Amino acid sequence: MASFDMKKLATLSLFVLLSFLATAQETTLTPKYSNEFLAIGVGANALGMSNAVVAGVDDVTAGYWNPAGLTEVEDFLQIGAMHAEYFAGIAKYDYIGIAKPIDEQSAAGFTFIRFGVDDIPNTTQLIDKDGNVNYDNITSFSAGDYAFLFSYARKSKIEGLSLGGNFKVIYRHVGDFAKAWGFGLDAGIKYKLGDKWKFGALVRDVSTTFNAWSYSLDDQMIETFEITGNVIPTNGLEITLPKIILGAQFKTNVYKEFYVKSEINFDLNTDGRRNVLFRTDPISIDPHMGLELGYGKWVALRFGVLNFQWIKNPDLSESLTVQPNIGIGVGFKGISIDYAFTDIGDKSVALYSHIFSLRFKLNDPKQSEE
């Protein structure tokens, strides 16, 4: 029984390792879905609205969603944090953000993101060259994706118009076997029309982001690749093509401090035909929308839909599916706690996750002393 379990463990861990390395190698040739960990999103407030926030975002999470929104941060300092677990806790996603006004016209921000799978059994050395099984040779490794975003935003001379950008550094690794460094730029714009309308646009990877992969494989791993029929990875570039996100938000008070806010976004992917609502080549259009009902800065209920997908039925006909999200947020004395019940695109209720995030504001210590 133990031997059978060990065989299953060896097979599973080998499959995971080969999948990670093969995926990294294939993206050199096929850039679609590159750096997708940066498409998950940050902040349960945004996830509850199905990521439809590019026009309305005005807090610390703007460093991720649309850096132009940082110009609406008026506090001395804002800090945001989120921890999420996906696939029954196998994958972990962490976010930390900081935003601070520089002066009345400009602001800066920093965003850190990690998406990783830890403690993956490495059984590639389980059997030595003589065919002997040695369980002491089993080690573990982690596969992680890291992003560091440095943001800057400034109000233009046109009233209501703000511009912003990100310089991002990406580090990805699969244990000690493979690693990549990448660099890229994002550009955002935001326009406020009156008291009710906001419009925004973000071009992710406007410069085209390049990840340079390098591999460190020993002879036994290379032999494993050959035996299993996998292509031996070679050093190369992974390319992330630009993605354009357009958004419009409408917000109005319905009674005293009770308000309603709705936003719709359109993701324009430039990496070819995707299985989204509007499937065209080379640009596919993926809409998502959210609704928020709230009372001042105290409480908010959020709803949203995204991931419109065409599913082929057994009779070869197609049907449209959609992923709903819900969320709630509460605020008190500069602290906001947000919750979202969401998924990262798999549409299986069993894999929905409970996401919590925190935002809080710090006052100027000099003003406190006065």
pLDDT of residue 292 exceeding 70: yes
Quote the pLDDT of residue 143. 87
At the topology level, CATH places domain 2-369 in Porin (2.40.160)
Per-residue pLDDT band for 176 (boundaries 50, 70, 90) equals confident
pLDDT of residue 5 exceeding 80: no
Average pLDDT over the chain reads: 84
What is the SS3 string spanning 175-195?
CCCEEEEEEEEEEEEEEEECC
Quote the pLDDT of residue 336. 95
pLDDT of residue 13 exceeding 50: no
SS3 content of the chain, % helix, strand, coil (to 5): 20, 50, 30
Residue closest to 261 by CA, chosen among 272, 269, 249: 249
CB-count exposure of residue 76 (10 Å: 0-12, 13-18, 19+)? middle
In angstroms, the CA 200 to CA 32 distance is 25
Per-residue pLDDT band for 214 (boundaries 50, 70, 90) equals confident
pLDDT of residue 33 exceeding 90: no
In angstroms, the CA 341 to CA 31 distance is 30
Quote the pLDDT of residue 81. 97
Min mean pLDDT across 18-32, 149-163, 293-307 is at 18-32
In angstroms, the CA 129 to CA 301 distance is 61
pTM strictly above 0.85: no
Sign of the CA dihedral with 321 first, then 308, 31, and 96 last: negative
- Between 285 and 14, residue with greater pLDDT: 285
pLDDT digits (tens, 9 = 90+) for 302-338: 999 998 888 888 887 888 888 899 999 999 888 999 9
CB 193 within 8 A of CB 231: no
- Between 256 and 97, residue with greater pLDDT: 97
How large is the average pLDDT for residues 243-271?
A: 93
**What's the CA angle centered on 26, arms 38 and 118, to 5 degrees?**
55
Give strand ranges (E) for 63-138.
77-86, 91-101, 106-122
Show the tokens assigned to 273. 């035909």
Per-residue pLDDT band for 24 (boundaries 50, 70, 90) equals very low
CB-count exposure of residue 283 (10 Å: 0-12, 13-18, 19+)? middle
Show the tokens assigned to 301. 């209920």
Burial state string for 139-153 with b = 16 or more CB within 10 A and e = fewer than 16: eebebbbbbebebbb
How large is the average pLDDT for residues 169-173?
A: 94
DSSP state of 98: E
Query: What is the DSSP code string of 329-345?
Result: EEEETTEEEEEEEE-SS
In angstroms, the CA 27 to CA 47 distance is 27
